Structure 1
């Protein structure tokens, strides 16, 4: 069975994206820059997330936050289907402010059996996006989803502490560097020396903390930077340049490996 990946974005519902994956045998993994709600239809396997190895299967919903890397590997049985609805931080923050919830927002658990109110809201928004319903219906479904999420899977952000925050450790500082414009000039040896740790210690600690070695994490950052530009209407060439890829083919190869479609196909979806 051929894998089918369909991406749906509607101008009438900005900041929202639906990805439908059918009969997928692949290992999935990418860096999140949005709030994601994924629902398993028939896909079954395990997710490596927040330093945990978690079972994931039909009836489950996974909820991932911006800045987090995850990896999902199917069981030996192979093919499975699922859907993901993504909301940008701005969209979810604005809707949750109406629910009297303060930023930052956090999901209570990464994976759970889908609460009934959340399942109903996710299904309704999916139907509205697929059918390209009128703007008012799509917006109403989005409001219902935010309300369901607020009451079932989102927790209220903690007030900021008045104490001075603890200094970042080597892994956190390296992660920040990989997100910066200086990422392409990072020297692992120099960074390890400055941090007074060995390169091996740094590599092992970074992978344990973020689920991927620095070079792979940095690649995900660059691909995701390009993907966000594609969502905003930029060309594939502009997205490749923003991600510091040597050319479009280099960007396309890595984008397709992570997302299952080419950047051109992804950009053309509406």
Structure 2
């Protein structure tokens, strides 16, 4: 008999910056196509996670490291009859940019890691230990920060590569970037295709095709993602789910909850309580 699904999230504040953690067990959970503002880095404890990433269908079994770079759309679902259990870090892009520049002793671009699954037992053990230490309130801050830097150093030195150059397709990359900025600036409104097309300088038909091809999400799916991201920030600051829903652009709390669970993996209320409970310790 499968054990019930369970998630635990928290945010740990360190001198290197805030670190978001999740320890979860999923069986029926299916993550909709989505992306993160920062890096995702974790280890599979039991079962197996299946996901689509960079045009490939991947499986991360127990003991494997799984990751995603900022802005790269991916999914998530069980690839084992018992589901999967994993420990995840959600790291600000600035944290890895700073670490990479310190390692290189000069300013360097954000590290790019092509593989979504790494079979590196040593790194997996380091991530597992760090995650457990981060969740322990009694663990010294210096120990947490030292182990965090050790993990980042190993990831960047062993797997980090220069980001591949973007394909040149005329004005389309600029147009899509403009549309993304417009969506983030006006996510709380009911944005129309005509608005986005006008902002990007493309026809509505050309805009939808170009945006979906380059981003990996339709404009509407991207809008939902932007609203969920805004809601996570509001919930982390202590706002009630109902208020966060409206401010983020959702019709009501149930509308937020439906999309939040498919992208974040838990409910808005549980997410808020997890972050607030850890802060109060």
Quick check: TM above 0.5? yes
Structure 2: give runs of 5+ residues left out of the alignment: none
**Larger mean Cα displacement after TM superposition, 76-85 or 31-40:** 76-85
**Pairwise CA distance, 1:3:** 0.7
- Residue by residue, what CA displacement relative to the aligned partner does 1:64-116 show, whole Å, maximum 9, x if unpaired? 22233321233473622222111112333333332126342132213132334
- What does 1:72-221 correspond to in 2, within 5 Å? 72-75=76-79, 77=81, 79-100=83-104, 102-132=107-137, 133-156=139-162, 167-169=171-173, 170-181=175-186, 184-189=189-194, 191-192=196-197, 195-197=201-203, 199=205, 201-221=206-226
SS at match of 1:81: strand
Measured after TM superposition, the shift of residue 135 of structure 1 is 1.2
What is the CA-CA distance between 1:255 and the residue it aligns to? 1.6
Q: Classify 1:191/1:12 alpha carbon distance in 2 versus 1 (closer, same or farther; 3 Å).
A: closer
Q: CA separation in 2, counterparts of 1:204 and 1:42? A: 39
Q: CA RMSD in A?
A: 3.1
Instruction: Render the CA deviation track for 1:196-224: whole Å, top value 9, x for unaligned.
Output: 5453x543443333222211121011101
List, as ranges, runs of 4+ consecutive aligned residues in structure 1 with deviation greater than 6 Å: none
Q: Which residue of 2 aligns with 1:163?
A: none
Please, which of 47, 57, 73 is the counterpart of residue 54 of structure 1? 57
Change (3 A) 1:43 1:198: farther
Correspondence 1:253-264 to 2 at 5 A? 253-264=258-269
Displacement after TM superposition at 1:28 (Å)? 1.6
- 1:20 aligns with 23
User: For the residues of structure 2 that align with 1:28 and 1:241, how far apart are their CA atoms?
Assistant: 23
Out of 62, 65, 68, the residue aligned to residue 64 of structure 1 is 68
Query: Aligned pairs, how many?
Result: 263
Distance 1:256 1:198 in 2: 31
> Which range moves more in the overlay, 215-224 or 202-211?
202-211
Q: Which residue, 36, 44, 60 being the options, matches 2:40?
A: 36
TM-score, normalising length: structure 1: 0.81
CA separation of 1:184 and 1:234: change in aligned 2, threshold 3 A: same
Alpha-carbon separation, structure 1, partners of 2:82 and 2:226: 28
- 8 A Cα contact 2:260 2:267, kept in partner: yes
